[in-house]
Structure 1
């Protein structure tokens, strides 16, 4: 058999024969989503030669699912398409209409829940939460240490730079914007040792307390 014939046969095997056809689509990392839903959205045609599956198209389809934060798609020879998803993690609850939704640290509202998840702080933002405002709120909550985030029952934000945290003990923290959040966390840790009703760390170089 000539070299050309060998290469021609190899090309036929890879691109057209059923010897390396797609037989399995596997999904890893799906928790809120069901693997079957991910597979259905991927739209991979079983029986298609593995090399002819457009991985970018499959990846884009799955990335459009709101709960998906990131996704990778790979071929696993000889017969499998492997899909690995990372789901968004809830950081706060948002009321919309008569239902509850959860948002992640980037302010993306991605999951509906019939009842409020009590472990999450409630976000009340003007106009049910403009995207930029929710992004700032998510950034602030993500900067909080676990203990302080757990103690936060409510977050109010009329604008991007007027974020207020309401804590479980009735105390209030005026945060301002998400800028300098790490510094604000450090300043607040010291201020909370002082008895007060309101803590203002919006300008961390000049914090104040009142009440």
Structure 2
């Protein structure tokens, strides 16, 4: 009887050695996927239920910190936190957006989940640097030139801003070039650069043009500041000038390298 051919012996040898390596690897991967799926189903379902379905981790309280002029009740009302919803699903970005839109006095706010039941609203309010009188009320302006609130009483210690733009060609050109908002920001920059001792005595910041800004101090004293440029140098010069001429009524630091004082 004739023996088997070489091809037949090869086929029998392949069958006896089991499936090819690639096929075994695929089966092993399939088993791993099935095991992982069962593990996720077993452990994941209770976790999802804990965060989304149970009453243990729901938003129930709101706390507010950092307010000075605003009241916690105002902040809480504007935040409109969805109480009763799962804490994990509360949209903190949406709460922050609502607060900024409804309460322009808020400069920054951090909305934080406080497990297991709370939402913390950490507020930073804007601080007025200047005020603009409008009728019988006052508009507060912060250190970025933002007009953020209108109040019935002027806050103490905050200078008034007067935009007294002259009819001169230079003033008209300054207004066309920079616009009123830019001129307000220039006045804010000057107010921030003024030395602390002088700032306490500053009653009014007057803007006639971009490079013609002056200060009115208590006691009838005035300071010609010029533009907001070189603010630090002007502040140092003004401090030295006031010490050298304590009885002067007018100080000019518009050119800090060539200051002047006059009056007594």
The normalised TM-score by structure 2 is: 0.73
Distance (whole Å) between structure 1 residues aligned to residue 239 and residue 43 of structure 2: 71
Whole-angstrom CA distance in 1 between matches of 2:156 and 2:134: 16
For structure 2, the residue ranges without an aligned partner over 5 or more in a row are: 1-37, 166-178
Whole-angstrom distance in 2 between the partners of 1:87 and 1:73: 15
What pairs up with 1:139-158 in 2 under 5 angstroms?
Answer: 139-158=189-208
Question: Are residue 79 (structure 1) and residue 129 (structure 2) matched?
Answer: no
From the superposition, tell whether residues 59 and 118 of structure 1 become closer, same or farther in structure 2 (CA, over 3 Å): closer
C-alpha displacement of 1:145: 2.8
How far apart in 1 are the matches of 2:115 and 2:185? 41
Matches within 5 A, 1:1-211: 2-64=39-101, 65-126=103-164, 130-192=180-242, 193-194=244-245, 195-211=247-263
What is the rounded CA distance, in whole Å, between the counterparts of 1:137 and 1:162 in structure 2? 10
- Separation in structure 2 between the aligned mates of residue 130 and residue 98 of structure 1, nearest angstrom: 21
Q: Distance in 2 between matches of 1:86 and 1:160?
A: 31
Alpha-carbon distance in structure 2 between the residues aligned to 1:130 and 1:105: 16
Q: Radius of gyration: which is bigger?
A: 2
Secondary structure of the residue aligned to 1:130 is helix
User: Aligned residue pairs: how many?
Assistant: 210
Q: How does the TM-score come out when normalised to structure 1? A: 0.89
Q: Which moved more, 1:46-55 or 1:155-164?
A: 155-164
Q: Distance in 2 between matches of 1:6 and 1:118?
A: 61
Q: Supply the distance in 1 between the matched residues of 2:79 and 2:119 (Cα, whole angstroms).
A: 10
Gaps of 5+ in 1: none
In terms of fraction of residues, the more helix-rich structure is 2
Question: Is the Cα–Cα contact under 8 Å of residues 65 and 121 in structure 2 kept in the other structure?
Answer: yes
Deviation, 1:170, is 1.7
Given that 2:138 and 2:153 are in contact with CA atoms closer than 8 Å, whether structure 1 keeps it comes out as yes
Runs of 4+ displaced beyond 4 Å: none
**Deviation digits for residues 110-153 of structure 1, max 9, x if unmatched?**
232223345322111148x9322222222221222322111111
| Structure (1 or 2) with the greater strand fraction | 1
